[in-house]
Amino acid sequence: MRRFYIPQDTTALALGADAVATALCALGIEPIRNGSRGLFWLEPLLEIDSVAGRIGFGPVGAKDIKSILEALDSNPSEHPLFLGAVNEIPYLKSQQRLTYARAGLGDPVCLDTYRQLKGFIGLENALAMSPQQIVDEVAQSGLRGRGGAAFPAGIKWQTVLDAPANDTSSAPHKGQKYIVCNADEGDSGTFADRLVMEADPYQLIEGMAIAGLAVGATQGYIYLRSEYPVAYRLLNTAIQRAQQANLLGHNIAGSNKDFHLEVRLGAGAYICGEETSLLESLEGKRGMVRAKPPLPAIEGLFGQPTVVNNVLTLAAVSSILERGAAAYKNYGMGRSRGTLAIQLGGNIKRGGLIELAFGVTLREIIEEYGQGTYSGLPVRAIQVGGPLGAFLPEAQWDTPLDYEAFSAIGAMIGHGGIVVFDDSADMAAQARFAMEFCVAESCGKCTPCRIGAVRGVEVIDRILANENREENVILLHDLCDTMELGSLCAMGGLTPYPVRSALTHFPTDFNRR
C-alpha cells in the first residue's frame, strides 16, 4: 500500500501544502502530514513510499496530483516534477544530519514513529546515569550554545548543578531549579528552531528532560515566539502525549524522577530573545535586560538556578546522550564541535535548511547548496548571524564556519542564519536599517543602546547627505565604540557589526550623493 506524505510545517503551508493535502483527500488518499526536510525550494514536497523506496515530487500544486497519480501507475520518472529517491537528492544527501535526522520522515507528533527512529534512547541512557555523569557527557561532547553566544553548554550545566537552590523563595519556587528553552527565534533569516519544533518536537522535549535530570530541575518552560502558531500546536500535542506515555511528569518511566514541561508564548519583542529579558517576560514582567552578574545559572527564573539554552542546543543533547560524546565531537573543527544548522535566506535560489559539520565555508554553502542568487545577479554581500551580524564581502567567503575564525574577522555565526544580497543591494541603506532596527527593538534600559541607535541613524543620514562627511564618519565609529563597549547586552553591543562592516567593505555606497 502506498503512503503519501505532505508537510504541515509553516513554510510548506505558506506555499500551498494544505491545498495539496485536500486534493489527495478528494481522491480518497489520506496523506501523512509530516514535517519539512528543510528543502524549502522544493516545497510543497510530496513524498510517496513505493516499492523502490521513498520517492519525491516537487514543488507540487493541487493541480498536479492527478498527473502524479497517473505517472505512479506507469513511469514516475517521466513526470516533470519527479525528483527520484528523496534521500538521494544532492542537497540532502551531502549533509551531516544529527539534529534533523528524523525531520520529514513521518508524523512529528506520533510517539511510535519517534521511538521507531531511535527516539528516547538518550533519555533512557540518562535515567541510568548520575547527574554529574550526564553533565560530563555534554561537556566532553564540546557542545556550545547554538543561540549565538556559543558558551560551552557543559560549563553552564555544571554551574546550575553545583548551585544550591534558594530555599527562601516563596512556594512553588522554593528549592526549585529550572530548565528554560529560548524558542523566541527572532533573527532575520532564521528558522532552524521552528523546524525542529514543527518537524521533530520530541527531540526538543527529550533534550529538555535530560537537562532536568542533569541539574536537578523538575520544571521546564519553552518560551515560544508568538508568531509560531503551528509549533505551538504541535509542541502542546507532543507534550500531552509524552505525559500520557509516562515520559514526562511524575516518576518518568518508573525512575522516581520528575520533569514537568509547559509552553509559554512570548511577548512579541525581539529583545526577549536575550536570556535575562526572556526570564523577566516569563515571570510576567516587561521584557527588559537584567544586569549580570548574577548569572541566570545562579539566579535565574524566580531567583533560582536556571539553565537557559536555545532549541538547537537542547535538541542536540538527545543526540549526544544517544550516540555518546565522542561520536558527536567527531564532527566539526577546533573548539567548534558537532554540526551547525545553516539557514539560507534572502536573495538565494535554493533557500532552506542544511545541517553540516563546522568548517564548511560560506562560498561552498552559497555556490553548492544555494546555487547563487534568486535574481541571477552576482552575490555582493552575505550577512551571517541575524540583523546584527556583519556584512561579509567576497574576500571573506572562504572563512570556515567556526566560532573563532569568524570572531577573528569581526563577524559572528550567531544562530546560523545566512542572508544573501545581490549586487543591486545598497549596503549604506542596510547599515542604516541596523541602527533603525536597534531603535525599534531596544528595551530602553541602557543609554548606549537606547540613545546611541537614534544618534546612529541621524549620523548615517548626515553622511549620506554629504554633510561634514569626514567628521561624521569619525563620529559614527566613535558611536559604534560606545555602543559596543557600553551597552548592557548584545542588542546594543552587536549593532555596530553590520554598520562597521558596511562602512569598511562597501564605502562607495556611502558616497552616492
pLDDT in 10s for each residue of the chain, 513 residues: 689 999 999 999 999 999 999 999 999 999 999 999 999 999 999 999 988 789 999 999 999 999 999 999 889 999 999 999 999 999 999 999 999 999 999 999 999 999 999 999 999 999 999 999 999 999 999 999 998 788 999 999 999 999 998 876 666 777 799 999 999 998 888 999 999 999 999 999 999 999 999 999 999 999 999 999 999 999 999 999 999 999 999 999 999 999 999 999 998 899 999 999 999 999 999 999 999 899 999 999 999 999 999 999 999 999 999 999 999 999 999 999 999 999 999 999 999 999 999 999 999 999 999 999 999 999 999 999 988 999 999 999 999 999 999 999 999 998 999 999 999 999 999 999 999 999 998 999 999 999 999 999 999 999 999 999 889 999 999 999 999 999 999 888 899 999 999 999 999 999 865
163 and 79 in one domain? no
The CB density around residue 255, as the number of other CB atoms within 10 Å, is 15
502 and 413 in one domain? no
Return the pLDDT at 52. Answer: 77
309 and 200 in one domain? yes
Q: Determine, yes or no, domain membership for 97.
A: no
- Which three three-digit cell numbers place residue 120? 528516547
| Element at 165 (helix H, strand E) | none
Return the pLDDT at 513. Answer: 54
Q: Could you give the angle at the alpha carbon of 275 between the alpha carbons of 271 and 276, nearest 5°?
A: 85
Q: Which among 401, 422, 443 is the end of a domain?
A: 422
179 and 256 in one domain? yes
255 and 199 in one domain? yes
459 and 448 in one domain? yes
CATH of residue 257's domain is 3.40.50.11540
Q: Measured over all CA atoms, what is the biggest interatomic distance in the chain, rounded to whole angstroms?
A: 74
Q: Are 45 and 33 in contact (CB under 8 A)?
A: no
Question: Helix axis angle, 447-464 relative to 469-486, nearest 10°?
Answer: 160
CATH of residue 503's domain is 1.20.1440.230
Q: Determine, yes or no, domain membership for 92.
A: no
256 and 139 in one domain? yes
Q: Determine, yes or no, domain membership for 244.
A: yes
Q: Which among 422, 457, 485 is the end of a domain?
A: 422
Measured in Å, how far apart are the chain's first and last C-alpha atoms?
A: 67
Whole-Å CA distances, 152 to 136, 162, 179, 403: 12, 16, 16, 12
Q: Determine, yes or no, domain membership for 94.
A: no
Q: Are 414 and 486 in contact (CB under 8 A)?
A: no
243 and 122 in one domain? yes
CATH of residue 28's domain is 3.40.30.10
Q: Which among 275, 301, 329 is the end of a domain?
A: 329
Handedness of CA 35, 39, 40, 44 (dihedral sign): negative
- Which three three-digit cell numbers place residue 460? 548615517
Return the pLDDT at 208. Answer: 98
280 and 195 in one domain? yes
Return the pLDDT at 51. Answer: 82
Q: Determine, yes or no, domain membership for 104.
A: no
274 and 196 in one domain? yes
- Name the 3-class secondary structure at 94: coil
Q: Determine, yes or no, domain membership for 98.
A: no
Return the pLDDT at 166. Answer: 80
Q: Which domain holds residue 252?
A: 111-329
460 and 407 in one domain? no
Q: Tell me, what amino acid is at 513? A: R
Whole-Å CA distances, 227 to 191, 269, 289, 439: 12, 11, 22, 21
Q: How many residues does the chain have?
A: 513
Return the pLDDT at 512. Answer: 64
Q: Determine, yes or no, domain membership for 95.
A: no
| Element at 308 (helix H, strand E) | strand 306-310
Provide CB contacts within 8 A for 18, sequence distance 6+: none
Q: Determine, yes or no, domain membership for 96.
A: no
208 and 258 in one domain? yes
Provide CB contacts within 8 A for 239, sequence distance 6+: 205, 248, 261, 262, 263
Specify the number of domains making up the chain: 4
